[in-house]
Amino acid sequence: MSARDEVVGVDEVERDAYSRAVIGVAAEVAPRVARVRLRRTEGSAVVWADGVLVTTAHVAGVETSGDVLFADGSESRFELIGIEPVSDLAVLRVRDGSPDAATFGDADGLDVGQVVVAVGSPLSPGAYVSAGVVGALGRALPVTSRRAGRLLESVIQTDTTPNPVDAGGALCDSAGRVIGILTTVTGIGTGLAIPVDPTTRHIIDTLRTEGRVRRAYLGLIGIPAPLPTGGGGVRVFDVVRGGPAERAGLRRGDVVLDIGGAKVEDAQSLQRLLFADAIGHPTPITLLRGGEPTEVTAVPIELGAD
């Protein structure tokens, strides 16, 4: 056997192993991905629990009910039980039960370059599958939907081939664990997903039980601020006039390091701290001002409150 034959043989073995992994993920996950049909649009959804599906807010849109079609051909009506445009997540409840829930992982353990498989439910029968690798983590992208404009944070970017009706489908690791909910952004030609992590789980569980997610609001615009000593914070680019941050004395140029005893290393970690339990509670904020540490106290209000 020549050296070339040996190389080709190894390549074929590796390619077959890769193919088997992708085929295995598709076989495991596709039955747990449904097609979502609404009057104005279609998309996908993933079975989160018995009778409960997760999709994106922009798939659900303004409609409160529709139909889902599963891979085995069964259909069911669904009702929208909760939607959260800030995170681009929505939760549906089907009337006639569902296949077993998918196995969900944790996107916090993802690495750039890691193999991932996107599984959606297209217009034709059968699943749409696209394999690739993680290209970037923690992307923040502006999104405009029928409901509102927003900044979608902590997005996973992959080189999988996007398909608009895959939105709401599953992004999986090579073990078949769902580590993201597929989404799309107009003008972005790469695969995108909302990470499944502790924050996402909190949002989904809250939508299931309460139908909405209450968010705390500080009224500041922040940008990343690497620190000379390592790590980072959030530099205040601007504060909203009359908002909690301005009333607390935060200024443009301050670098937020800590809120309520929790480190703030980027915009994503800041957002994770601004849920219902922070609303109306005096919260100490540690920051750097002119290179010197200082502390102020802010009282977050509810996002959207008059």
One domain for residues 224 and 277 = yes
Residue 105 lies in a domain: no
Residue 141 has pLDDT above 90, yes or no: no
Alpha-carbon distance of 207 to 160, in angstroms, equals 29
Residue where one domain finishes, among candidates 198, 225, 252: 198
What average pLDDT score do residues 155-177 get? Answer: 92
Q: Confidence band (pLDDT; 50, 70, 90) for 303?
A: confident
Mean pLDDT of 289-296: 93
Q: How many domains does the chain have?
A: 3
Q: Look at residue 6 and tell me if it is in a domain.
A: no
Q: Where a domain ends, among 198, 233, 263?
A: 198
Domain boundary among 94, 128, 159: 94
Instruction: Please indicate, yes or no, if residue 174 is contained in any of the structural domains.
Output: yes
CATH at 182: 2.40.10.10
The number of beta carbons lying within 10 Å of the beta carbon of residue 208 is 16
Mean pLDDT of 195-204: 93
Based on the domain organization, do 36 and 80 belong to the same domain? yes
Determine the Cα–Cα distance for residues 137 and 192; give it in Å rounded to an integer.
Answer: 10
Q: Does 45 fall in a domain?
A: yes
What predicted TM-score, i.e. pTM, was given to this entire model? 0.80
- Residue 125 included in any domain: yes
Higher pLDDT, 275 or 113: 113
Residues spanned by the domain of 180: 114-198
Closest CA to 66 of 98, 91, 94: 94
Percent of the chain with pLDDT over 90: 56
Neighbouring residues of 216: CB distance < 8 A, sequence distance ≥ 6: 273, 274, 275, 276, 278, 279, 300, 301, 302, 303
Same domain, yes or no, for 231 and 189? no
Q: Is the pLDDT higher at 224 or at 158?
A: 158
pLDDT for 287: 94
Note whether residue 181 is domain-resident: yes
183 and 228 in a common domain = no
Question: So what's the pLDDT on residue 116?
Answer: 97
Specify whether 224 is located in the same domain as 294. Answer: yes
